[in-house]
Amino acid sequence: MKRRAKFIVGGVFILGALGYLIYAGVSQSVVYFVTPSELMAAPVSGKTYRLGGMVQAGTLKWEPKSLDLTFAVSDGKTAVPVRHKGTPPDLFAEGRGAVVEGTWTADGHFKAATILAKHSEEYKAPDDGAAEPGYKELLRTLQGSSGK
Amino acid sequence: MRTRALGWLAGLALLAGLAVAFGYAPREAAQGNVQRIMYLHVPSILTAYLAFGLVLLGSIGYLATRGKAWDRLAASAAELGVLFTGVTIVTGSIWGKPTWGTWWTWDARLTSTAVLFLVYTGYLLLRGMVDEPERRGRYAAVVGIVGAANIPIVHFSVKWWRALHQPSTILGPEPSPIAAPIATALLVNWVAFTLLFVYFLARRIEIARLDDGAVDA
């Protein structure tokens, strides 16, 4: 019985340590995307980033002929100009969340290779009144999960 | 006889689930019809959580009492958990392509779910490799207990880390806006999936019991 108790205590200790290591390690290194403020704090040109934020209202321009897409990704404090060549996903729009993969360029814009639309956890019926889909919630999501 | 009645009940509940998912729930405002995948995706993962919870229960029970019934519960629930996790990943991927613009990405939620699937696939693999029933039960129970640590990681990953996957709408810390008919459709399908799971589990445990009996005789 005593031996068994020792095993249980040891097992709980090992599991706890393992869990903490995974949690601490993942929190620090596996941040899925950086925010515009974090990127602009120390931008390295030529480095690959995943940049996440809201597509700032009034900045989205798309040329259907040349497929040139330009917009700014913002976290409410800082906005980063983004350029992309291609067609964005259906849910991509001004005032909605997006994650762009690409590189920071020396001439001061973010060159996106892939654009992902971030969806909010809100589900609305078609005539639900409020026009802006998930804006508040998404912004809260971005702030609430800064890992600090 | 009672199991058969449960099977019919689960079948009827699934039909009702289909009816509300397509007939009653409205087309979601932002996503359109693709949102209806949610009625498969969310009940699947919630059922998988339940299954792996039962693996944990069966594993602890087996280590504590060495009763074969506990081992049969854990083994049967693990098979179903892997099945429902698989359904979750496939439906999520199909939803992700039109919504996010990608089939797969390595964010915290998707990665931890993939790990969940692999851990319990490994659990089934381990069971297949050990022939001696007592040792098989003991080894599997350890994996069944350790593996359960991943369940809260999967569920809270969207809260703890920045992810592409949206945070929890139901079972979240605070209630999120979800239109009532959409929530109702989700609930009906959740109940249907749970009934289906309990039916499958009862059948699978029965088969395992007959297998054990055949070995003993």
pLDDT tens by residue, B91-136: 999 999 988 989 998 888 898 899 899 999 999 999 999 999 999 9
Element of type H or E holding A69? strand A68-74
The answer to whether B55 and B70 are in contact (CB under 8 A) is no
Q: Which residues of A touch B111 (CB under 8 A)?
A: 30
Query: Any idea of the CA torsion for A127, A129, A135, A138, to the nearest 10 degrees?
Result: -60
Q: Which CATH number fits domain A36-121+132-144: 2.60.40.10, 2.40.50.140, 3.40.50.300, 2.60.40.1080?
A: 2.40.50.140
| Contact of B76 with B197, CB cutoff 8 Å | no
Selected for mutation to probe chain B from A123, A140, A145 (highest B CB count within 10 Å) is: A123
User: What was the pLDDT predicted at B106?
Assistant: 85
pLDDT of residue B80: 98
Q: How many CB pairs under 8 A join A and B?
A: 113
List of chain A residues whose C-beta atoms are within 8 Å of the C-beta of residue B28: 123-126
Q: What is the mean pLDDT of chain B?
A: 91
The answer to whether B178 contacts A30, with C-beta atoms less than 8 Å apart, is no
Contact B176 A137 (CB under 8 A): yes
Domain spans of chain A, in order of start: 1-30, 36-121+132-144
- Sorted by sequence, the CB contacts under 8 Å of residue A146 that are 6+ apart come out as A35, B162
A141 interface with B at CB cutoff 8 Å: yes
Quickly count helices (H) and strands (E) in chain A.
Answer: 3, 6
Our CA-based measurement puts residue A34 at a distance from the nearest CA of chain B, in whole angstroms, of: 9
Question: Given this model, what pLDDT does residue B90 score?
Answer: 97
Tokens of B192: 């249907």
Instruction: State yes or no: pLDDT of B200 exceeds 50.
Output: yes
Exposed, middle or buried, A36 (CB in 10 Å: 0-12/13-18/19+)? buried
Average pLDDT rounded to a whole number, residues B63-92: 96
pLDDT tens track for B162-174: 888 888 877 766 6
CA distance B96 to B85: 16
Interface contact A123-B181, CB threshold 8 A: no
CB contact under 8 A, B99 and A89: yes
| Helix (H), strand (E) at residue B42 | helix B38-65
Subunit contact B153:A134, Cβ cutoff 8 A: no
Locate A142 and state its tokens: 């971005």
Task: Write out chain B residues lying below 8 Å of A118, CB-based.
Answer: 100, 164, 166
Tokens of A2: 């005593």
Best residue in B35, B110, B166, B169 for a mutation probing chain A (most A CBs within 10 Å): B166
- Does A119 contact B27 at a Cβ distance shorter than 8 Å? no
Amino acid (one-letter) located at A116: L
Q: β-pairing, A110-117 with A79-85?
A: parallel
Domain boundaries, chain B: 2-216
The CATH code for residues B2-216 is 1.20.120
Partners of B164 on chain A (C-beta within 8 Å) are 32-33, 99, 116, 118
Mean pLDDT for the stretch of residues B64-89: 96
- Give the 3-state secondary structure percentages of chain B, helix then strand then coil, rounded to 5: 80, 0, 20
* Alpha-carbon span B27 to B121, nearest angstrom: 36
Interface test with A, best of B35, B164, B174 (most A CBs within 10 A): B164
Share of chain B above pLDDT 70, in %: 95
- A100 inside 8 A of chain B by CB: no
Q: Could you report the per-residue pLDDT of B11-55, keeping only the tens digit for each?
A: 999 999 999 998 888 888 888 888 899 999 999 999 999 999 999
Backbone angles phi, psi at B161, to 5 degrees: -125, 160
- Chain A interface mutation, best of B20, B60, B100, highest count of A Cβ atoms under 10 Å: B100
Residues of chain A with confidence (pLDDT) below 70: 1, 24-30, 127-148
d(CA B50, CA B155): 12
Q: In this complex, is the C-beta atom of A53 within 8 Å of any C-beta atom belonging to chain B?
A: no
